[in-house]
Amino acid sequence: MNAAKEKLEIVSGAAEPQFRNFAGGFFRKNAFELIQEYCTKQFFMLKLIIFDWDDVITLGSTDGYFKCYHDTLVELGVRLGPEEEHKRILAKWSMPHREELRELLKETPELLDSACTIYEKKLFGDTFVNELRVAEGTTALLQKLHTTYALCVATGMNPKLLKNVVMPKFIIPNVFSQIISTYDIADTDKHKPHPHMVEEILKAHAVQPEQALFVGDAKTDVIMAQRAHVTPVVVLTGHLTKSDAEKLNVKFIIKNITDLPAVLSELSGE
């Protein structure tokens, strides 16, 4: 009996260091995996949401711009067929209005300066803003998102129009840490769909592309986001249809901006 007990103690004593090594290795491995998982989640945690503005936050922008361009041509006595006018406007979409008007007035470039003056009066007057509206719940959504994420804007809208006319008209809170417009970028080669605007925002916020979303309505928005390696979200309140967005390999497609929380829940695994 004593011999058996002594033998058991010897075996147990011999095994103890091996068990300690095994247990220590097991817990170290699992601790490392937990830390690795935590760091991975932190790295991929969404920190930044970038919005296009036109037909994303305020709706009806496309109609407003088209009306301003059309009325400008009418006032100048320039007549283009509806299809040609539409095609020329879209050819320079998201660029500053001088570039748009240059395209529309290819045959009469001497009218460009006058056209810009007329257009600006319509843009900053009632012609444009009377076409605009916002989806119910947009303001509340932006205020809520602002408590968790950095919110920014990358837009083709004139920044003076945006800040001095549109935002006050719709009482949209100033929750945006950065607003970049194509009007701020002299090099037209860096306008949408070039990733420059998104890259500048990422850099300013020290955020990796994997930690950001871009919410837009147009093909140029999607391509810009993809070139910057940022996940695009398409709202169906502007240029793209669901089919159009799917052809661009967009995973997240929503009816309007107020459906964005569903995307955020999916990304967070809720």
Q: Tens digit of pLDDT for each residue in 150-193?
A: 999 999 999 999 999 999 999 999 999 999 999 999 998 999 99
Considering only 19-23, 27-31, 40-44, 154-158, which range has the smallest mean pLDDT?
Answer: 40-44
Measure the CA–CA gap between 268 and 270, rounded to whole angstroms. 6
232 within 8 A of 216, measured Cβ to Cβ: yes
pLDDT at 207: 98
Measure the CA–CA gap between 243 and 263, rounded to whole angstroms. 18
Q: What is the CATH number of the domain that holds 177?
A: 3.40.50.1000
Final residue belonging to a domain, choices 129, 149, 179: 129
Could you tell me the pLDDT band of residue 23, with boundaries at 50, 70 and 90? low
Could you tell me the pLDDT band of residue 17, with boundaries at 50, 70 and 90? low
Same domain membership, residue 147 and residue 199: yes
The number of beta carbons lying within 10 Å of the beta carbon of residue 141 is 16
Per-residue pLDDT tens for 112-128?
999 999 999 999 999 99
Measure the CA–CA gap between 236 and 245, rounded to whole angstroms. 9
CA distances from 101 to 64, 85, 111, 182, 250 (A): 15, 11, 9, 15, 32
- Domain membership of residue 195 (yes or no) is yes
Same domain membership, residue 263 and residue 241: yes
Per-residue pLDDT tens for 193-233?
999 999 999 999 999 999 999 999 999 999 999 999 999 99
Same domain membership, residue 54 and residue 183: yes
pLDDT at 33: 55
In this prediction, residues 81-108 reach a mean pLDDT of 95
pLDDT at 94: 81
What residues make up the domain containing 51?
A: 46-60+133-268
Measure the CA–CA gap between 262 and 161, rounded to whole angstroms. 31
Same domain membership, residue 148 and residue 95: no
- Domain membership of residue 240 (yes or no) is yes
Per the structure, the count of domains in the chain is 2
Our measurement of the distance from residue 10's CA atom to the centroid of its chain's CA atoms, rounded to an integer in Å, reads 68
Same domain membership, residue 229 and residue 172: yes
Same domain membership, residue 119 and residue 209: no
Same domain membership, residue 183 and residue 138: yes
Same domain membership, residue 153 and residue 103: no
- Domain membership of residue 16 (yes or no) is no
Same domain membership, residue 188 and residue 158: yes
Check residues 48 and 17 and name the one with the higher pLDDT: 48
Same domain membership, residue 208 and residue 139: yes
Measure the CA–CA gap between 21 and 15, rounded to whole angstroms. 10
Helix axes 82-91, 97-104, angle to 10 degrees: 140
- Domain membership of residue 213 (yes or no) is yes
pTM of the predicted model as reported, rounded to 2 decimal places = 0.80
Which of 58, 263, 54, 49 lies closest to 177 in space, CA to CA?
49
Per-residue pLDDT tens for 130-154?
999 999 999 999 999 999 999 999 9
Same domain membership, residue 68 and residue 55: no
pLDDT at 129: 96
Task: State which amino acid sits at residue 249.
Answer: N
Final residue belonging to a domain, choices 71, 106, 129: 129
Helix axes 97-104, 61-76, angle to 10 degrees: 50
pLDDT at residue 242 tops 50: yes
pLDDT at 212: 99
Q: Across the chain, what does the average pLDDT equal?
A: 89
Which of 223, 179, 188, 221 lies closest to 98 in space, CA to CA?
188
Could you tell me the pLDDT band of residue 36, with boundaries at 50, 70 and 90? very low
Q: 165 by DSSP, 3-state: which?
A: helix
The number of beta carbons lying within 10 Å of the beta carbon of residue 265 is 10
Final residue belonging to a domain, choices 129, 150, 178: 129
Same domain membership, residue 116 and residue 168: no
239 within 8 A of 62, measured Cβ to Cβ: yes
pLDDT at 95: 87
pLDDT at 47: 98
pLDDT at 22: 56
